[in-house]
Amino acid sequence: MYQARNRILDAALLVAGVGIGAVVASLAFRDLKLKAGQRDLEQYASRALLRMEALPAESSKAANAVRNDNLPFCSDQDLALMRRVVFYSPNLKDLGRVKDGKLYCTTGIGRMPTPMPIPAADVDDRGEKFYALTPLAIAPGALGMVVEANGISIALNTQAYETAFDEPPRIFTGMFLARASQSAFYAFGHHEPLSNSEIMAQSLVERAGVFYQPLCSKTLRVCIVAAEPRIAMMASDQVFAALPLFGGALGGGCLALILILYFRRHRSLERRLKRAIRNRALTVVYQPVVDLKTRAIAGAEALARWTDEANEIVSPDVFIAAAEQGGFIHEITKLVLERVVEEVDDLLRLGNFQVTINITMQDLTAPGLYDLLSRSVQAAKIDASALGFELTERSTADPEAAKAAIARLKSLGHTVYIDDFGTGYSSLAYLHDLAVNAIKIDRAFTATVGTEAVTASVVPQILDIASQLDLMVVVEGIETERQVEYFNQASHGTRCILGQGWLLGKPVPAAEFRRQFHTGGNAESQETQLPVQSAN
C-alpha cells in the first residue's frame, strides 16, 4: 500500500512537472515572441518614417523651384519647368498654380479654360493648406493628398509611398504636424484610433487587439503610425512554436525527476533509519564535560551515531533532521535514554556525575515520555538528577509550551539546559521566564574569544546574566588553551564554568569514556558537580 501510494505520488509529480514546464515555457516563448514582434513593428515604423520625411522635403524643394522661376504665370515655359520638376520627383503627381482661391493650371492638364475653384482646406496652418483625400484635377474621380502654399499646389504621390512599405499584416498612417496647434492630422493611409496626445507620446499602444507604434520626425513636420494585430504578431511556424513547448515539458520533467529521486532518497533514508531504530543499530558516544579549572570530568553529553547497513557513517545533522521531519525523533531519544542507563549506569550512581541528552519539543509532547523517564530512573536505581536534558533554542520558539515542558522535567528531578544559547529564539530578556538550570554557550561565541569579532563582546554579558540568575554555564567548542584561560578568569573565582570541546575530549564509546573518566580522576573526590535540581 505504501509503495503503491508513493508510485502514484511520483507519477503525479512527474506529470505535474511536465505540464508546468510546458506551460511556463509556452508563456515565456509567447512573451519573447511578443517582444520581438513589438521590436519589429518599431523598426518598420522607423523605416516608414524615414520614407515619409521625403514628402515634405520634395514638396519644399519643388515649391522653391517653381516659386523662383520668374516665368510668366501659367505660361508654356512655366508649365514646362513644373513638368520637369514632377518628372524628376518620385513623390509628386502634379504641380499647379493657384491665385485667389482658384487653380489656373497644372502640369497634367495645362492651362485650364476656366479656373477651378478650390474647396476649403482640411487644415490651414498659417497659410499652408492641406487637403487629405481631395479630388485631383489631373484624374477626375481620384483622391489624393494636396499641399498648397504661396500660390503653388502640389499633389503628392502617396500611392508610391504606400507600395514601398506594403508589408502585410502591418499597416500605417501618414500624418503631418500643424505648427500652430502642434497636433498631428491625417494625410493618407488608414485612420487610427489614437488621440493626439498618444501620437505625440510616441509610445506603443494596444487597443482592441491591435498594437500601434507612433513615431514623429525630429526635423520635419511628419509622423507615422504603424499598426499590427496581436494575433498576427504572435503567429509563427507550428513546428517552431512546438519546440519551446517540448523543451519546457522536457525541462519540467527533468526537474520533477530530480525531485522524485530526492524524495525517494529521503523516503529511503527514513525507512532505513526507522529500521535501524527497530534493530537498535544506533550507537551512543559520550563527550566529556570538564571543569575548566581542575580538568576533571564532571559529566558527559550523550550523542547518537549511526552507521547504516552499507557501513556508511550518516551525519547526525542528516538523520536527526530526517527524524524530526518524519515525526519520530522521540524514538531516537528513547533509544539514547535506554543506552545511557545501560552503558554508564555505574557512573550515574556516583551521585555527582550527570549525562545530558538532547531533547526536542516533539519528544516532550510524545505520549509516555515522562512515564518512561520515571521507569528508567527506578529500574537503573539512579537519582533523576543524574540525567539532564538539553533543549535546543528552536524548541523554545513557543515560550508557553517550553515553560510547561521545562517545569515538568524539573518536577521529576531532572536538570534542564538551553543548548546552543545565543543562536536561536531565546534571549537574555526572557531567560528568567524559562526557569532552566543551565545554559550551554554556543561554539560560535567561543570561537570569538581572543579575537576582535563583535560577538566576542556578547560573552561577558551572557556570563554576567547567568551569574545573576544563578545558572550553571557550559561552554561548547573549547579548542584552545587561550579559551580555557579566558573562561577561568571570567569565573572570578566565585563559580566554576564547565567546558566541552575537542581540546577537552572527543565523543567516544562508553567503554573508552569510562576509561578516560577513571584515568582522569575519581568522581567521588571531585569538588565539581553538575547542577542538581531538587524535586521540589
Q: Reduce the secondary structure of 42-105 to three states and give it as a string.
A: HHHHHHHHHHHCHHHHHHHHHHHHHHCCCCCCCCHHHHHHHHHHHHCCCCEEEEEEEECCEEEE
Give the chain's domains with CATH numbers.
280-522 (3.20.20.450)
Angle 76-87/54-67 helices, nearest 10 degrees? Answer: 160
* Position 467 confidence tier, pLDDT thresholds 50, 70, 90: confident
- Angstrom CA distances, 161 to 131, 218, 352, 456, 465, stand at 17, 20, 104, 79, 88
Could you tell me if 484 and 450 are in contact, meaning their C-beta atoms sit under 8 angstroms apart? no
**Which of helix, strand or coil describes residue 418?**
strand
Report pLDDT for 500: 96
Report pLDDT for 13: 59
DSSP letter at 506 equals -
- Angstrom CA distances, 37 to 76, 170, 171, 236, 247, stand at 53, 11, 14, 11, 22
Distance CA 86, CA 485 (A): 104
The per-residue pLDDT for range 422-443, each reduced to its tens digit, is 665 455 556 777 889 999 998 8
Side-chain-facing half-sphere of 187: CA atoms under 13 Å: 30
The per-residue pLDDT for range 253-310, each reduced to its tens digit, is 576 566 555 555 555 788 889 989 999 999 999 999 999 988 999 999 999 999 988 7
Report pLDDT for 459: 84
The per-residue pLDDT for range 142-197, each reduced to its tens digit, is 777 889 988 999 988 776 666 656 677 788 788 888 877 778 887 777 777 888 88
**Phi and psi torsions of 298, nearest 5°:** -105, -15
Mean pLDDT score, 77-94: 90
Report pLDDT for 527: 39
Report pLDDT for 519: 86
Short-list 481, 475, 484, 388, CA closest to 436: 388
**Which of helix, strand or coil describes residue 121?**
coil
Largest CA distance in the chain: 140
Mean pLDDT score, 345-368: 90
Mean pLDDT score, 9-13: 64
The per-residue pLDDT for range 359-370, each reduced to its tens digit, is 988 888 888 889
- pLDDT of 462 > 80? The answer is yes
* Position 10 confidence tier, pLDDT thresholds 50, 70, 90: low
**Which of helix, strand or coil describes residue 354?**
strand
Residue at 466: amino acid letter: A
**Cell numbers representing residue 455 in the block:** 560577538
**Phi and psi torsions of 187, nearest 5°:** -115, -50
Residue with more model confidence, 25 or 39: 39
